Structure 1
């Protein structure tokens, strides 16, 4: 059997994912931890790696869902720039214990192994910046189709994401009419456009198709409050123009919280803000029929 370079990379990535999920974090390739990560049991769940067909390409993902259950509401979980490591996998298990089929696709698998980088700048330039937004949307559409065929009810579909995944959460909620609720954790709203990332959420506010909850830290030096103010203004203009989803958007900002305040494996973690945001996320899903 002939193996393409992309398939070989996917195989290497699957091995790395399994090793990473079994052994925890590699200190040399991820931000330094301030404390141990939260560990959520897989008892009562079907959890682990699955493969998703994206136009013939096999994309790995980590999926968690209540064992033996079908017709489950679905949550897409979009990772930070570090890919689907144990923190992201744990988030899917937390959601599964709430009754969801939660799935985190490995969106960087074609570009490289995000977990093999010890230097942030190289990770961004060699992997993250090379991921086309259009490809993300195709990957997520395929993930939704996979969920529908494996016990999920995608008429009850939500999406949430962190950092890079927070930006993609905004973009997917502007792309897919199937999304019923979306929660972006400190997702960037504006920035310098590139050929592969040509548009940012701020300029696409009028295309929003789902109710959005944005969770941000007031001490986030990369996403200033001015950026949120501009997004609120753009959404109000969209709502005044008749966009119903733009009328159902809420921002919560946490005083003194930095970027990545939910990432419990990093020094940026802020327990109170993280726990409050989690409760608000679950309430947002249920209030919009995803639960």
Structure 2
């Protein structure tokens, strides 16, 4: 499957709940505690909103205040907004044409009171449809850092991803890099790796070389990832020793380094 995740860091300052300070233990270090990164997660997969379930937020509702819609908070520094919070049942089908989808995306960006945030991460559906065009258009003045594109190793997925990459280039959306998901299976007992989805044309690595794009990393198959998503639990916390956890952390680090570099360059220009 191909999926574009644009704007990891679109607005960088926007007001409520103050984030908790980073946890400390006794006198482990002196000085004031470091602030936690404030993150907003916006799910614009209008017809298939899965973020509420994966974040353990099923059944939560959006509340309105004088300053707009309040996002649902996983933690004090992680707010989420999704059409899934507006449905009476998680099984309800959203059967909307483009204009209605676009209107809701605009409302999410305009009317949600995210507060002061460091990163806005937008989860999009697969493909290059209305949602992608809308989010790029509406955030055009926000200096989007870029898109993270997700693929799996087989050619049928890479075909879609090449279209995603072409879309990003046509709309002048920077590409942070590509993540290869389901990249082999590492046996938890013998530690040998098996290719469940063989990269018959070289996988994401070969594609990134051909298109001059960064390969951010490869996430191996781990059945616990699906279980954690179904239960709304953090995979990184539940299975900290998994090779997939190490891969996730490396990918996150590379994305953050990219964004920090972009912000530093912007500050130098200003």
TM-score with structure 2 setting the length: 0.44
Structure with the bigger RCO (C-alpha within 8 Å, sep 6+) is: 2
Question: Which has the larger Rg?
Answer: 2
TM-score with structure 1 setting the length: 0.42
